[in-house]
Amino acid sequence: MPVRMFGQTSRNQHGVIVWPFVSFPKQGVESGILARITSLDGDSGAALLDPNGLVLGVLKGRMRVDGECLAIYSNIALVLKVLKCDF
């Protein structure tokens, strides 16, 4: 799925979701999204948007998976749950 992100440092970026549902408990990721998209130091917290502009997740960082450096996003549903947001 094509996605985009506007980071504080990297600015407007376009990419694709590689794995929509991942879990890396040792790294503190309960339910994450891995994307092939450019992100730089200072972009943490940037929103990952679908083609319709809906927020899918927030940038947590980068990690190497199968030799490729990918951006990892916290699933927005879990972020909203932790913040006790109810819609």
Q: What is the pLDDT of residue 52?
A: 97
In a domain, 16, yes or no: yes
HEC states along 18-78?
EEEEEEEHHHCEEEEEEEECCCCCCCCCCEEECCCCCEEEEEEEEEEECCEEEEEEEEHHH
Spell out the residues 6+ positions from residue 67 whose beta carbon is closer than 8 angstroms to its own: none
In this predicted model, what pLDDT tens digit does every residue of 16-34 receive, in sequence order? 999 999 998 887 778 899 9
CATH value at residue 62 = 2.40.10.10
Range of the domain at 39: 2-82
Domain total for the chain?
1
Q: What is the pLDDT of residue 3?
A: 98
In a domain, 50, yes or no: yes
In a domain, 15, yes or no: yes
In a domain, 87, yes or no: no
**pLDDT of 76 above 90:** yes
Q: What is the pLDDT of residue 82?
A: 86
Instruction: Report pTM.
Output: 0.89
Mean pLDDT of 50-75: 94
DSSP secondary-structure letter at 81?
H
